[in-house]
């Protein structure tokens, strides 16, 4: 068990499909490998992440406050909120990078983050395998290079996300969807139980998005907990639970009860509009994880 916080004063989808990012045919089925499963697997439904009254921030300012929820093994949780609403702060607390000023956050097992591909450097001449191997650094001394076991795990991880035939491909030359799956593979080699995905669907075409859907579902079925930062209200309705943030916790629960008009107004305020044809509420502009 990893205790990350302290007491007071002491982290069907409707996707836009860009025409510029076609996926190449995938030769390997998207399905996690048992060899990459977390050590000491737990049953689906077991609490893996618990936050109790968590508040956190930078300098003397709290960017996020009053966050209380439990995430279980197998949960796919959409994290909704505007830019600056606290999504990044939440992720940093869960990762252990930022101490909570109030309350307590407890994580069972390791945590890994899958960043946005848009924030990745694409000009380094590294292969997909090299990127995945970066996930093995935490498990070995800094002076020791990746060994055979690390390389086998990295290859297994790439195969698990359907990229077993792209091991030697240069990361920057892969499509956006393929790069996103490489970053998921990097998290898988850490055998993390809790995965934090920072707007993973941003810029993906429809085919890539469906493959990512399948992968997220498979990882949840393995007993992992996935927190998926997003600005897409329609997408959030497809997950098991929704966490709404706007400097504080606005709501948490199943989509049917959490995504009310009142909750969305409290989360997005003036950025919310009603789509004429469907009558559904949507966010005016895209929001980066903040």
CATH number at residue 99: 3.40.50.300
Model confidence at 26: pLDDT above 80: no
Residue 87: band (very low, low, confident or very high) from pLDDT cuts 50, 70, 90: very high
Tens of pLDDT, residue by residue over 192-223, are: 899 999 998 888 888 888 888 998 998 999 89
pLDDT range class, residue 25, cuts 50, 70, 90: very low
pLDDT of amino acid 209:
86
pLDDT band for position 60 (cuts 50, 70, 90)? confident
Asked if residue 99 is part of any domain, the answer here is yes
Measure the CA–CA gap between 154 and 274, rounded to whole angstroms: 45
The answer to whether residue 162 sits within a structural domain is no
Does 276 have pLDDT greater than 90?
no
Lowest mean pLDDT among 13-22, 79-88, 134-143, 148-157: 13-22
At residue 274 the predicted structure's pLDDT band, cuts being 50, 70 and 90, is low
Evaluate whether residue 236 is within a structural domain: yes
What pLDDT, on the 0 to 100 scale, is given for residue 135? 86
Domain boundaries, position 48: 2-14+36-123+192-283
> Does residue 267 sit within a domain?
yes
Task: Report CA-CA distances (Å) from 248 to 54, 73, 232, 267.
Answer: 9, 24, 19, 9
Secondary structure, 3-state, the chain: CEECCCCCCCCCCCCCCCCCCCCCCCCCCCCCCHHHCCCCCCCCCCEEEEEEEEEEEECCEEEEEEEEEEEECCCEEEEECCCCCCHHHHHHHHHCCCCCCEEEEEECCCEEEECCHHHCCCCCCCEHHHHHHHHHHHHCCCCCCCCHHHHHHHHHHHHHCCCCCCCCCEHHHCCHHHHHHHHHHHHHCCCCCEEEEECCCCCCCHHHHHHHHHHHHHHHHCCCEEEEEECCHHHHCCCCEEEEECCEEEEEECHHHHCCHHHHHHHHHHHEEECCCCCCEEECCCCCCC
pTM: 0.80
State how many domains the chain has: 1
Domain annotation covers residue 262? yes
> Is 42 inside a domain boundary?
yes
Assigned domain for 40 exists: yes
Split at pLDDT 50, 70, 90, the class of 169 is very high
Is 240's pLDDT higher than 60? yes
Whether 119 shows a pLDDT value over 60: the answer reads no
């Amino acid at each position: 068990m990893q205790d990350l916080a302290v007491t007071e004063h002491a982290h069907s989808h409707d996707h836009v499909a860009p025409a510029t990012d076609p996926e190449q045919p995938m030769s390997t089925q998207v399905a996690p490998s048992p060899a990459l499963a977390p050590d000491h697997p737990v049953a689906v439904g077991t609490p893996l992440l618990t936050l109790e009254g968590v508040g956190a921030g930078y300098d003397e300012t709290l960017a996020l406050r009053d966050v209380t929820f439990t995430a279980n093994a197998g949960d796919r949780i959409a994290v909704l909120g505007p830019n600056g609403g606290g999504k990044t702060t939440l992720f940093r607390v869960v990762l252990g990078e930022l101490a909570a000023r109030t309350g307590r956050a407890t994580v069972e097992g390791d945590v890994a983050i899958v960043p946005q591909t848009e924030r990745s450097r694409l000009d380094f001449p590294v292969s997909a395998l090299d990127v995945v191997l970066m996930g093995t650094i935490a498990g070995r001394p800094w002076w020791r290079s990746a060994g055979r076991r690390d390389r086998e795990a990295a290859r297994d991880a790439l195969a698990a996300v359907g990229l077993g035939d792209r091991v030697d491909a240069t990361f920057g030359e892969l499509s956006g969807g393929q790069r996103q799956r490489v970053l998921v593979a990097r998290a898988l080699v850490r055998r993390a139980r809790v995965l934090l995905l920072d707007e993973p669907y941003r810029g993906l075409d429809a085919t890539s998005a469906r493959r990512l859907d399948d992968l997220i579902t498979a990882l949840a079925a393995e007993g992992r907990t996935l927190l998926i930062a997003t600005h897409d209200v329609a997408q959030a309705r497809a997950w098991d639970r929704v966490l709404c943030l706007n400097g504080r916790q606005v709501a948490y629960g199943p989509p049917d009860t959490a995504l009310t008009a009142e909750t969305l107004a409290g989360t997005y305020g003036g950025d919310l509009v009603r789509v004429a044809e469907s009558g559904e509420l949507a966010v005016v502009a895209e929001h980066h994880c903040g």
